[in-house]
Amino acid sequence: MDNKEKNKLIVPIICLLLSIGLWVYVTNVENKIRTTEISKIPVELVNLDALTSSKLALSPNQEFYVTLKVEGNTNDINKIKKSDFKLQVDLSEYAWKKGTNKVPVSIVDYPISISIRNTNTLTIQVNIEDMVEKNLPVTSNIKVKTKQGYFASEPTISPEEIKISGPESSVNSVSKLIINDSKEEVSEDIIGNYEIIPVDEHGDEVEGITLSQGTAKVEIKVSKGKSVKINISTVGTLPSGVKLKSLESSRKTVEILGPKEILDTINEVTTTPIDLSSITNSQDVNLSINIPEGVKVAQGEEQLSVRVNLVGIISKDFSIKYSLSGANQGLKITPSKDVIKVTIKGFEDEISSVSADKIKASIDLSSYKEEGTFEVTPKVSLDGLNTNYSVSYVEPISVTVVKEVAQGDNNNNSNDNNNNND
């Protein structure tokens, strides 16, 4: 064999040796055995009925994880996912007590290409509470908007009440059971089965609650209503010095709903009465509508506000001419003024229309027989005015009384004077 042929054989042999060496390097150096930790591996709890039979329950908001220490080839380790592991705690295998329980974790499944180094130290802490139950009513939170002229009655829910059970802390946080939905442009009855949701005082759903029944049947009657007049009722009498001017209602009519044969017999409804004896000034009063038997008032119209407007008594001054009568013969009477001031009282909304011609004033002079100056108060009467008006002030005047001298007496006196002069 010549040198040329020998060289051709040496090259492949060298390549084979290099390949074997590379494989040995990769296998023993690059893919060496190593140990690592994988955290947050979820742990599943099974056979929860074991707690229920003991009147116990898991405390809410618990999540169970462990950290695994695994060993294997680098390539195998790099391929591992958390979902490759199945870890469990079988609740039926332990005696549970209220409070914190530390229990071991069982490894049900894992990749066969690796080994788990800390199997004997895997534990979790499980918090346990008493399981309690209570009955709560089911309430509707269904928002219904009807078509114009139609009205939705209060929902009928069946069952009206159900039993809830679960961890004591969770059950105690449930404030009510609700049914949620929203309906618009409704003109027909609503009937359906709805999910029952346990919620806390803030309206947030409470998790971990078991319901004796998950749904409830809801029926909402929708009927065409009728608009009728509202008649405001009153009792009692207003205190002295005030008068009822008006009652201004926030609504003049109310929508009622019910069977047509009943609606046809109703043309108006009354309110709870206003006790006028307790009203001393203008004020707002909240009243309820008296609902006839067999019908209902449209939702949101059960009450109304009424403004009670009162008017009080005020005074008004007038300038009045008076008449004189009954003067004795032989006396001359001269009054100090021809017009007097007269003040009358009346209700504010009426007195403005009173004119001076409704007020009559006179002075009777028959009692004045001697000369002198006298103060006299004219007598005043109100012509055509009702008893709501009264005279509160009459201005007095003075009258001067002198005896009149006869004409004959004046002549005689003149002659006597002339004779004396002679």
The pLDDT confidence band at residue 264, using thresholds 50, 70 and 90, is confident
| Alpha carbon separation from 168 to 27, 110, 125, 161 (Å, rounded) | 58, 36, 19, 19
281 and 217 part of one domain: no
157 and 214 part of one domain: yes
* Residue 10 parent element (H or E): helix 3-25
323 and 301 part of one domain: no
Task: Answer yes or no: are the C-beta atoms of 202 and 158 closer than 8 Å.
Answer: no
25-59 pLDDT per residue, tens:
555 555 588 999 999 999 999 999 999 888 999 99
| Higher pLDDT, residue 258 or 132 | 132
Task: Pick the last residue of a domain from 159, 190, 224.
Answer: 224
74-117 pLDDT per residue, tens:
889 999 999 999 999 999 999 999 999 999 999 999 999 999 99
Task: Answer yes or no: are the C-beta atoms of 256 and 289 closer than 8 Å.
Answer: no
Q: What CATH number should be reported for the domain holding residue 276?
A: 2.170.120.40
* Structural domain includes residue 21: no
60 and 112 part of one domain: yes
184 and 113 part of one domain: no
Q: What is the pLDDT of residue 119?
A: 85
Q: For the residues 351-377, what does the mean pLDDT come to?
A: 93
* Structural domain includes residue 387: yes
* Structural domain includes residue 246: yes
Q: Both tokens of residue 376?
A: 């006299």
Rounded CA-CA distance 415/409 in Å is: 10
* Structural domain includes residue 300: yes
DSSP letter string over 128-185?
A: EEEEEEEEEEEEEEEEEEEPTTEEE-PPEEESSEEEEEEEHHHHHH--EEEEEEEEEE
* Structural domain includes residue 78: yes
One-letter amino acid of 278: S
Paired sense of beta strands 242-249 and 274-275, if any: unpaired
Weakest-pLDDT range from 6-20, 191-205, 344-358: 6-20
390 and 337 part of one domain: yes
266 and 328 part of one domain: no
Weakest-pLDDT range from 6-15, 200-209, 235-244, 367-376: 6-15
188 and 244 part of one domain: no
Looking at the chain, the whole-number percentage of residues with pLDDT higher than 90 is 68
300-345 pLDDT per residue, tens:
788 999 999 999 999 999 999 999 999 898 899 999 999 999 999 9
Domain total in the chain: 4
Weakest-pLDDT range from 157-161, 254-258, 356-360: 254-258
* Structural domain includes residue 374: yes
Quick check: 419 pLDDT over 70? no
| Alpha carbon separation from 196 to 141, 165, 213, 218, 419 (Å, rounded) | 11, 14, 8, 11, 135
Task: Pick the last residue of a domain from 208, 224, 240.
Answer: 224
Rounded CA-CA distance 292/305 in Å is: 20
Task: Answer yes or no: are the C-beta atoms of 127 and 62 closer than 8 Å.
Answer: yes
CA angle at 199 for the pair 196 and 138, rounded to the nearest 5° = 40
Weakest-pLDDT range from 81-85, 89-93, 254-258, 376-380: 254-258
Q: For the residues 7-14, what does the mean pLDDT come to?
A: 66
Q: What CATH number should be reported for the domain holding residue 331?
A: 2.170.120.30
* Structural domain includes residue 148: yes
β-sheet with 397-403: strand ranges across:
331-335, 397-403, 372-376
81 and 161 part of one domain: no
First to last CA, the chain: 217
Q: What is the pLDDT of residue 296?
A: 84
Task: Pick the last residue of a domain from 85, 114, 130.
Answer: 130
HEC states along 50-101? HHHCCCEEECCCCCCEEEEEEEEEHHHHHHCCHHHCEEEEEHHHCCCCCEEE
Q: What is the pLDDT of residue 415?
A: 46
39 and 116 part of one domain: yes
Q: What is the pLDDT of residue 17?
A: 65
Query: Most distant CA pair in the chain: distance in Å?
Result: 217
236 and 294 part of one domain: yes
Question: What is the separation of C-alpha 194 from the centre of its chain, rounded to a whole number of angstroms?
Answer: 26
Q: What is the pLDDT of residue 9?
A: 65
397-411 pLDDT per residue, tens:
999 999 987 655 544
Compute the Cα dihedral for 333, 337, 343, 349 and give only its sign: positive
336-355 pLDDT per residue, tens:
999 999 999 999 989 989 99
Where are any strands of DSSP class E within 187-330? 190-195, 197-199, 210-211, 215-220, 222-224, 226-231, 234-235, 242-249, 253-257, 268-270, 274-275, 283-288, 296-297, 303-325
Q: Both tokens of residue 202?
A: 């803030």
Rounded CA-CA distance 269/262 in Å is: 13
**328 CB-near residues (< 8 Å, 6+ apart):** 365, 366, 368, 369
Q: For the residues 105-131, what does the mean pLDDT come to?
A: 93
| Higher pLDDT, residue 382 or 26 | 382
* Structural domain includes residue 25: no
Rounded CA-CA distance 39/368 in Å is: 126
Q: For the residues 217-241, what does the mean pLDDT come to?
A: 91
Residue range of the domain that includes 164: 131-224
139 and 203 part of one domain: yes
Rounded CA-CA distance 365/192 in Å is: 95
